[in-house]
Amino acid sequence: MKFRIRRMTPDDLEQVIAIDHASFSLPWPERSFRFELTDNPAARCWVAEGEDGSVIGMLVLWLIVDEAHIATIATKPEYRRQGAAKQLMDYALVSAVDEGAKSAFLEVRESNLAAQAMYRQYGFVATGRRPHYYKDNDEDALLMTLEHLTL
Ligand SMILES: CC(C)(COP(=O)(O)OP(=O)(O)OC[C@H]1O[C@@H](n2cnc3c(N)ncnc32)[C@H](O)[C@@H]1OP(=O)(O)O)[C@@H](O)C(=O)NCCC(=O)NCCS
């Protein structure tokens, strides 16, 4: 495995926020990451480390009873297409199953074909639409669901 997956710590926040800003037109405010990391008991926050120990990817999952909600996932642009996001997904989903998750879901921009392709590899299927979900361009979100989460 090229990358090491581990739980996020407060020391990672600067790098995580930089990845978030490089990846999304509506990045989360720093306080949101801090909240997930320190105050949200449902949140499971993961990072991928490169060989030099720097953070090259992150994933936040909310585990609510037996449902896993992928809240965000991104990898550093210069490290994409090297399997880091799939490694993050593997760890986060296996860990969620260990904790009792039976299904998973997420929202993704309708135009984000790269992410949708990845989610389909895991068996997620589009099951709904959230109209005007993204406030920057009024884009719809597709709701993608993985009904039977077994890994
Ligand atoms: C989506 C994202 C997390 C994928 O990260 P990554 O590290 O490149 O992903 P991986 O190398 O593990 O590849 C995972 C799969 O995603 C899909 N994928 C990734 N980039 C793709 C692209 N440019 N075109 C088509 N499919 C793509 C493929 O199915 C790929 O599997 P494959 O390499 O076996 O074909 C990354 O592109 C990213 O950070 N994008 C910006 C943030 C974002 O859109 N997050 C998702 C929000 S819902």
Specify burial of residue 116 (Cβ count, 10 A radius: 0-12, 13-18, 19+): middle
* pLDDT given for residue 1 in this prediction: 62
- Is residue 119 flagged as an active site residue? yes
- Is residue 91 flagged as an active site residue? no
pLDDT in tens, 13-52: 999 999 999 999 999 999 999 999 999 999 999 999 999 9
Q: How far is the CA of 66 from the centre of ligand 1 (A)?
A: 26
Catalytic-role residue among 67, 107, 110, 139 = 107
pLDDT in tens, 43-87: 999 999 999 999 999 999 999 999 999 999 999 999 999 999 999
Residues enclosing ligand 1, CB less than 6 A? Answer: 23-24, 73-75, 80-86, 108, 112, 114-115, 117-118, 121
Answer yes or no: is pLDDT of 111 > 80: yes
pTM, 2 dp: 0.97
- In sequence order, the 6+-apart residues with CB closer than 8 A to the CB of 42 are 62, 63, 64
Residue nearest to atom 1 of ligand 1 (CA): 115
| Index of the ligand 1 atom closest to the CA of residue 87 | 12
